[in-house]
Structure 1
């Protein structure tokens, strides 16, 4: 133990040497500065501190401010006693290195490492900043471990201009611990731990532990990494506790493994804000040559913001599963923005993702978000997909107040998707049919998807797309579409909820289940379950307590709920089942289950008190394959202005579908049609049970007025129409009135008209806005 007395700080610009394996503890409360030529040549641990003294079990202090003679026999110190305003510790352009299985610790006032390196192979690095009087406990010496109680006021630590703290190992266990008020890392500075070389299955890297009472800020390419490059070894964890964590301008927090072993866990516990901006990242990765699993990322805070190409991600590029991502934010999670890439005509999105890269083997991890509000905007994505050989992860979101997904301006030039996605796109030569895309599960107060944003699951390989389950205690609003104009394409992208079997997919689309207070689908938005290749489209189930409204279009593209087999595809369009207090479709909008490929059109089931179709709206189960069916039950049904209910069929030997309507009152006006026709074969069957029907009737063929038809290719192939109404005699109970008209001329008194002037008293006002006159001459 060495103490510096007096009032001067220590400028060290040369070699510090200690013989043998002894630890060296250096004490100067006034401050310690290590210059560019400072070096360590010691056999044990090194501790530099600006405490006032070392504290021992017998309450003896080895003090620099009250330098009593040293004892001949001294026990291991148990603490560092600090006075007011502890001196600074600086490392400027110096490299301080300790031998293996030791510790390197700097414990003082504010600490600055400027273009310096603290190197501790197989060892431990510990930094602690203290701002006022207090005791820092020494828990152990080999390795050196200290603890900072809540009563110790912390100071600040700055790592600047490529300041490095590497604590790597071959045997595992090298670690870094930092206790501070503010930790700031600038200009490509870094904290590094990990395992390198050859080891055994028991090897695990040490942790990076950061405890900051206010904030941790990393910027300008600064990194916090815990990586493993060893055969049979696991990387350690990264643990950060602070009020806020701010990452910007390519800053990274990362765990990874690129050999055999698992990546470590990232645990971030904040009382306030996590902000990632400008291509910054929190990442856990299984590398291309890795065999193991990616690490989990668990983040808690009040506000979590990921913007401008930044990411929270877990990926596997080797053989193994990606890690899970869990985010808990008391108030809000924001994923926002993208950075344009002019050369590729694309944008680079802010994202939260877990996935399997091309060439990898393993399953994607799950993403779980629990918050008050979740906002995904302007080209940002939340994605759990696989491009390798494995199944996708599940996305689970609980947003107590609201979930907003809004594409904003991101579609205008670059065609970047905005939304929440799970995608299954495995290797083309993968014949494993048991793969599956991940599900999306959402529980929220309200859900809004706007301006071409999407919430979707899809499969483009061999395997099924995931399901989408949405529960909203209040409302769900899907609104708008966008004309995308890129250098290579032009198309309309609708807002909506979708499950798809893509053009290269072999598998079934997922189901969509929606439970909400109300649903509105407007201005070209859509609920869609489709198949473009080989596989069945999914089922859409909607259950709302109040109204379901479909209204408006975008450039001729209607708002709709649809399950469809697209042209050239092989598969069936399944079911749309909608239950609501009222259903309204207007201005060309539709519920449709259509088959344009090889397969059956699906079924439409509607249960609502009131159903209204107006201005070219439709319930449609048309097909070029086997018949589709419509089953509708309501208290009232209104069709106006060219609106239709159809199960028409085209193609050889294709029968028109069946229509079953059970409604107390039906009005079909201004060419509102109900048809189950077949252009090339037998017409279908229409069955209507009603108390009364107005404006339409059965006809042999369609006309320009309202019709009910089941027309076939010819009269012998016509279908059937059955309209069942109660057998009621409308004349029953009527009262016969007198047939003779009474001449009332003699019954009217003419006296009033002959009076010239009379006064009348009125109590009923002639005009409610004025006072009643007491008298009036008439």
Structure 2
């Protein structure tokens, strides 16, 4: 039957702290084989008292004493007969053992000293034990089910051959006396002190495991004259069932050291003002083995070659260096550590540097996955402690932190697994809450640097799922810097902010990772006071803002909002909406001056390869108050896409620069630089004003193409680029300029620069080096594709001018270009400069919208219509296409009428004339459509040739001048459709046909 070793308590006893006589008195419980003390022996070449005798059972030797004390400066050794591996000694008397000299074994056996009344190791005490040593105030050692070796019931004891070396641990059942140490105690192998209470000073070291276990309280102290050192070549266990109380920061050489795992265990929070060095894992545990709590009013430094884990920390500056992972659920930093903490300049993985100073700033400093945990210089006298041999190498450098609170001002949180990192292990960093906010001074900084991911997941609970570095007073907001080699994820309503609510400025937020995802979370800064909000900067390959996520800066008061700068080298995607109860809100990248604020909104810059704004998401700069909105600049080297509306139809996908209702500040300028711009399904780009402020300018530079296609799925939102001054606004609209190679507006897509208010509309300029195509109407037939500059409704402002520079302009199937006034303001001019051609073809399928170019004064408007100016090689209008300064229902389809300075009698020219070639050369007529146009649909361009006179057409329809004399056309004469446009020698234009020869 297998047996185990346990320390048992049978009869409670009161610890007697009075020193016993410096003598050793065997009892008679072992009979004739009792212990024998030889007072004048020589052990290891020096005088000593040698204890022989005892009862041998296999590898075990048993001794029993009434009193066991070692006098000041004396040496007491227990003999080690051949074959003996364990020497078990008990004290059955009523006094504690007082060790003031050297206690040892004359051999390599393990030594057990059992005294229920207590054990005292004085300042000159030492151990000379090559094997293991166990000093305990337990009443008995149990042999599992086979009895026990008892100090309180010696007559019932059984002396067995069981080896207790591997069976003693975790077998302490009850302890009554105390153990006190002020000496320097070292053993070759394992070292255990187990008592009711342990009061430890001095130095304790073991070549193997070191166990310091108290049934009630483990107390550790140091002093300037006497540093405390607990050093283990293996594992170190500090256990106080009710309390562990450590204060070992007075002497810089004090500390707890182990080459193996280090565990501090108690049912209550451990008070641990100390520096810890572990070659294995480090953990704080509850009695049941679950993670426990650490308190350190003066601050702690934990160095571990393995993993570090505990439930919570409360105290001054805490620094953790771990070769593996770090898991801490809650941390509260209550102050700095002015005498014992680290001051250091650290280089982050992105090359920037930060200063760590836990001595002047309340600091949480966690570094996982590091190969540099420092050298335990305080360990001396045992060469094994200088050899780092982990029984199990760390496998991950993950850091998982619950809630971190820095209570005093000017704090600092630094969390990294990139410091002197071990290339074998890597990991992510997960944080629930960090709050370094301050009401009286500067808020604390937050720096997180991860070799893989940074994971910030909200909990949908108040004050949980956040990083706050806010200031509510004159101090500055804290800086927040997140750096990750792979992804930074903010999700589930996580809030990350550095705000100001008073005169202090907010802190900056800097994000840098291979990919950044803001999924239903908020990342930003704001000011609600006199101070300015901090800026937000994101540097990544890929940025995603999803499901109502927000990246923003705001002002709600006098201070200015910060700038937002996004550098996404591959892509930036802003997609969808968020849902909270019955409310929905768009995914958003923005800067904003909010209601009642006087500060300015910040500027927003996005630099990327590809930008996608989809499903109701928005990118915007705006003002609701006195402050101006900032500018919005997008530099996308390949593509910008703005697509669709939100699923609920409440939000268009858009890129906006707005001055909102009741605002007096100006909207900012909007500029997009890209190769291709695609707007589709209700997606919009606009600069608008609803208030007194002016709308900003819109500039689109798309080196290849701009495509504006369709309307939203519900048909209510027009896809387009807009520069508008809305109803009740008094500000002017901004200018709208599109520079591209090819512009396509199709299926209801529009470019619109209009005013509905008192301010003037904008000038609209399109420079398309190859082509402009305006095709069709929306699928429901409500909206024509078009380019418009209008003054509408009760507006008094003038519409702006519309100018198009291109090689080829095509309007087809209802596509339109117009400047118009529906109100008091004047319409602007339309100027078309087309190097090759202008073609206006057909009308919408329902005939409602002709393809055309118009300058109109419509309805009850009092403003003037604008002018139409064309400069092109080819002007083609047919199949319902129109050009005009008004829309008249009697206008003949497929006709073109010019009104030159010298009016022509078109009654004659259009119905009863032809152009006759003459061999004589009295002058010349250039057949042209305002300079080289085709004379009929589909024909080639014409060249000038000489003509003679203009003659009437014979009544039979022939063109021979010899069959009928010239006379004016009369009612009843046939009407012959003109074939071409002709320019006479005096420059007049006519519509006619060529006379037959």
TM-score scaled to structure 2, two decimals?
0.58
- Partner SS, residue 482 of structure 1: coil
Matched, 1:285 2:436: no
CA distance, structure 2, for counterparts of residue 191 and residue 707 of structure 1:
83
SS state at 1:244 partner? coil
- Show the counterpart of 2:510: 326
Alpha-carbon distance in structure 2 between the residues aligned to 1:264 and 1:461 = 31
Provide the residue aligned with 2:691 in structure 1: 533
- Given that residues 395 and 440 in structure 1 are in contact (C-alpha distance below 8 angstroms), is that contact kept between their aligned partners in structure 2? yes
| Matching residue of 1:159 | 310
The 5-angstrom pairing of residues 593-632 of structure 1 reads 593-608=753-768, 609-615=770-776, 616-623=784-791, 624=795, 625-632=797-804
Confirm or deny: 8 A CA contact 1:27 1:53 kept in the other structure.
no
CA contact (8 A) 2:592 2:629 kept: yes
2:540 aligned with 1:364? no
In structure 2, the CA distance between the partners of 1:24 and 1:311, relative to structure 1 (3 Å rule), is farther
Provide the C-alpha distance between the structure 2 equivalents of 1:551 and 1:619, rounded to a whole number of angstroms: 13
Corresponding residue of 2:39 = none
Counterpart-to-counterpart distance in 2, 1:208 and 1:25: 30
Correspondence 1:35-50 to 2 at 5 A: 37-40=216-219, 42=221, 44=223, 48-50=230-232
- The residue matched to 2:436 in structure 1 has which SS? strand
Matched, 1:469 2:641: no
Query: Does 2:337 correspond to 1:190?
Result: no
Who is 1:88 aligned against?
Answer: 262
Residue 551 of structure 2 corresponds to 382
Distance (Å, rounded) in 1 between the aligned partners of 2:543 and 2:524:
15
1:768 equivalent in structure 2: none
Q: 2:625 & 2:718 partners in 1: Cα distance?
A: 29
Aligned mates of 2:193, 2:898 — CA distance in 1: 100
> 1:301, CA displacement in angstroms?
2.7
- What are the within-5 Å matches in structure 2 for residues 696-711 of structure 1? 699=884, 701-703=886-888, 705=893
The separation in 2 between residues aligned to 1:77 and 1:6, in whole angstroms, is 23
Contact 1:48/1:105 (<8 A) preserved: no
- The C-alpha deviation readout for 1:639-686, integer Å capped at 9, x for no partner, is 12232211111333x222111111131111222222222231332221
What corresponds to 1:179 in structure 2?
322
Structure 1 residue 7 corresponds to structure 2 residue 190: yes
Alpha-carbon deviations, 1:312-370, whole Å to 9, x = none?
Answer: 322223331111111221x211111xxxxxxxxxxxx31221222x4x33111111111
> Judging changes above 3 Å, is the alpha-carbon distance between structure 1 residues 651 and 35 closer, same or farther for their aligned structure 2 residues?
farther
CA contact (8 A) 1:284 1:295 kept: no
Contact 2:255 2:274 in 1 (8 A): no
2:810–2:838: 8 Å Cα contact kept in structure 1? yes
**Residue 316 (1) aligns with residue 504 (2):** no
Counterpart residue number, 1:144:
none
1:10 and 1:501, CA in 2 relative to 1: closer, same or farther beyond 3 A?
A: farther
**Do the aligned residues in 2 keep the contact of 1:522 with 1:552 (CA within 8 Å)?**
yes
Equivalent position of 1:207 in the other structure: 363
Distance in 2 separating the partners of 1:452 and 1:689:
41
Q: Tell me, yes or no, if structure 1 residue 559 matches structure 2 residue 719.
A: yes
> Would you say 1:244 and 2:424 are equivalent positions?
no
1:683 is aligned to: 865
Aligned residue pair count:
620
The alpha-carbon distance between structure 1 residues 700 and 354, as it changes in their structure 2 partners (threshold 3 A), is closer
Maintained 8 Å contact 2:604/2:630 = yes
Between the aligned partners of 1:565 and 1:603, the Cα distance in structure 2 is 12
CA distance 1:519–1:53, shift in 2 (3 Å): closer
Larger Rg, first or second structure (1 or 2): 2
Matched, 1:399 2:568: yes
Counterpart among 244, 248, 257 of residue 438 in structure 2: 257
Cα 1:87–1:546 shift into 2, 3 Å = closer
Once the two structures are superposed, residues 125-164 of structure 1 have per-residue CA deviations (whole angstroms, 9 ceiling, x without a partner) of 01222xxxxxxxxxxxxxxxxxxxxxxxx2122213xx32
| Deviation, structure 1 residue 297 | 2.4
Structure 2 residue 274 is matched with structure 1 residue 113: no
Q: Which residue of 2 aligns with 1:569?
A: 729
The CA deviation at 1:699 is 4.9
Is the CA contact (8 Å cut-off) linking 1:525 and 1:558 kept in structure 2?
A: yes
| Deviates most, 696-705 or 461-470 | 696-705
Aligned partners of 1:47 and 1:105 also within 8 Å: no
Distance 1:604 1:12, change over 3 A: farther
- Residues 18-66 of structure 1, C-alpha deviation per residue, up to 9 Å, x if partnerless? 4xxxx86776841446668435363547654434699xxxxxxxxxxxx
Task: Verify: 1:578 aligned to 2:738, yes or no.
Answer: yes
Residue of structure 2 in register with 1:139 after alignment: none
Could you tell me how far apart the structure 1 residues matched to 2:726 and 2:195 are? 77
Task: Work out the CA distance in 2 between the residues paired with 1:310 and 1:680.
Answer: 55
In structure 2, distance between residues paired with 1:50 and 1:282: 40
Aligned counterpart in structure 1 of residue 209 of structure 2, from 24, 30, 36? 30
1:457 corresponding residue in structure 2:
621
What residue is the counterpart of 1:276 in the other structure? 456
Inter-CA distance 225–79: structure 2 relative to 1 (3 Å threshold): closer
Q: Secondary structure at the match of 2:672?
A: strand
- Judged with a 3 Å threshold, the aligned counterparts in structure 2 of structure 1 residues 500 and 49 are, in CA distance, closer, same or farther, namely farther
Partner of 1:754: none
Name the CA distance, whole Å, in 2 between partners of 1:274 and 1:454.
Answer: 25
- Alignment RMSD: 3.4
Partners in 2 of 1:211 and 1:306 — Cα distance?
22
1:694 Cα deviation after fit: 1.2
Report the 3-state secondary structure (helix = DSSP H, G, I; strand = E; otherwise coil) of the residue aligned with 1:461: coil
Q: Tell me the residue number matched to 1:512.
A: 670
Deviation string 1:195-233 (CA, Å, 9 cap, x unpaired) is 69xxxxx994242221111334436xx32333315xxxx
Structure (1/2) with the larger strand percentage: 1
Q: Give the superposition deviation at 1:193.
A: 4.3
Please list, as runs of the form range in 1=range in 2, the aligned pairs for 1:754-765 lying within 5 A after superposition.
Answer: none
Correspondence 1:590-739 to 2 at 5 A: 590-608=750-768, 609-615=770-776, 616-623=784-791, 624=795, 625-652=797-824, 654-663=825-834, 664-670=836-842, 671-678=850-857, 679-695=861-877, 699=884, 701-703=886-888, 705=893, 725-726=930-931, 730=942, 732=944
Q: Give matches, 1:109-148, under 5 Å.
A: 109-114=280-285, 116-121=292-297, 123-129=298-304
Contact 2:578 2:586 in 1 (8 A): no
Contact 1:379 1:418 (8 Å CA) reproduced = yes
**Contact 1:385 1:424 survives alignment (8 Å):** yes
For residues 492 and 706 of structure 1, the distance between their equivalents in structure 2, rounded to whole angstroms, comes to 42
Q: Secondary structure at the match of 1:567?
A: coil
Equivalent-residue separation in structure 2 for 1:2 and 1:290 (angstroms):
55
Q: Is the 8 A contact 2:261 2:281 kept in 1?
A: yes
- Quick check: 2:257–2:278 contact (8 Å CA) kept in 1? no
In structure 2, how many angstroms separate the alpha carbons of the residues matched to 1:4 and 1:710?
A: 113
Structure 1 match to 2:13: none
